[in-house]
Amino acid sequence: MVNKKLKILHVLPYFYPAWAYGGVPRVVFELTKELARIGHEVTVYTTDVFDRSSRLRGIDSGTEAVVDGVKVVYFKNLSNRLAYDLQLFLPFGLRKKIKETLPDFDIIHLHSHRHFLNNIVHYYAKKFKKPYLLSAHGTVTQIERRFFLKTVFDILFGRQILEEATHFVAVSKIEVDQYKSMGIPKERTTLIYNGIDIKALSKASINSNFKKKYNLEGKKIVLYLGRISPGKGVDFLLRAFSLLEDKESVLVIAGNDMGFKKELLKIIEKKNLNGRVIFTGLVTDEKKISLYRDANVVVYPAHNEIFGLVPFEALICETPVIVTDDSGCGDIIGGNALGATVKYGDVEGLRDKIRETLESENNSQSVQRGVEFIKKNLDWKIIGAKYTDLYGKIIS
């Protein structure tokens, strides 16, 4: 463990409380909070995004706030819609701030790839000879959408950012391989899992009232929680759910729409699932925990997902999980017998796993193994210590 207090700058386009942007802002929020708790001086440069239709209120470029011991500087985007729909973040005033303050930091930690905040930081990190590491969070390879734009970005900026990074963090073996496919040597990559906020998810005071709210007493809930986008496999889950013989089961899809919901509605209509599928929109905090606790099984059907927080959060809430075997969480859950795994695209196989889990009386064993694994490996105190050691090695 490094004893010296470090001045650490984290840079990402979305941060607390922009939960509509998925797991990355949550992970970085928890990481920076833990690093500040350890005693480091932690600063985050980010933008004012909140969700597709709104920004954070009262934010001007350069607005500073202290969130759980972390200094956060928010910069206003040119367009909130461009930020959400095209991931085009154009923050006013960031370049000037970076130029003025970058020499003060010991190390810079960039999050996600292919956004212009990284371009600005990369330029000045090179100028001031400051080490920077990148956590791509699954974005280093081209997946899902906008392949032409991503190719153009790589040619103009992306490749140089990768080539000149001091180090990389992968959150799973799958992401290690993704870095390798981009020509990044394994010795420049360190594997550190994402952490889980065990204390918050274990709050006994939170009541399980989702079934009551939606009048689902006596129903069995199959839950998907996450962004509604093509790579998340929700269409795959819908097709498998339509084959379930148990017509009393309900599929709950909880998450914000990234433009893919219209495709799911077509499947629901075609498979005659009207009345058996519930969309809740984005759920957070106590509502999310209540939903986890009331669900009978959580299915995380994402394709090539590098990690996936949802299955581990569900396990802490004592709910059994099913995940795809080609994902980072699938590698962990399948390899440690923490839940069921299924091949992506195997519709009948997923149907069978859902049915078996709903009917099984032995789910508590895998759930308990999951809880124990998370406490030993994914507690943020453990993760924060690993990052502190890595920062120290990079600086020295």
**Do residues 77 and 90 make contact, with C-beta atoms less than 8 angstroms apart?**
yes
What pLDDT shows up at residue 3? 65
Contacts of 345 (CB under 8 A, 6+ apart): 236
Q: Indicate the average pLDDT of the chain.
A: 91
Digit-coded pLDDT (tens) for 370-392: 999 999 999 999 999 999 999 99
> How do residues 69-120 score in pLDDT, each as one tens digit?
999 999 999 888 888 887 788 899 999 999 999 999 999 999 998 888 999 9
pTM value?
0.89
pLDDT score recorded for residue 114: 80
Dump pLDDT digits (tens) for 129-145.
999 999 999 877 766 55
CB-count burial class (<10 Å; 0-12, 13-18, 19+) for 268:
buried
Residue 352 has pLDDT above 90, yes or no: yes
Strand 70-75's sheet: what is its strand order? 63-67, 70-75, 41-47, 7-11, 107-111, 132-135, 167-170, 189-191
Residue 71: strand pairing partners: 43, 66
Strands (E), the chain: 7-11, 41-47, 63-67, 70-75, 107-111, 132-135, 167-170, 189-191, 220-225, 249-254, 277-281, 297-300, 321-324, 340-342
Tens digits of residue pLDDT in 42-59 = 999 999 999 888 888 877
Beta bridge partners of 251: 222, 277
pLDDT in the model for residue 159: 82
Closest CA to 13 of 67, 58, 56, 57: 56
Q: Give how far Cα 395 sits from Cα of 118, 130, 354, Å.
A: 20, 9, 48
Structural domains of the chain sorted by starting position, each given as residue range(s) with its CATH number in brackets: 7-195+379-395 (3.40.50.2000), 199-377 (3.40.50.2000)
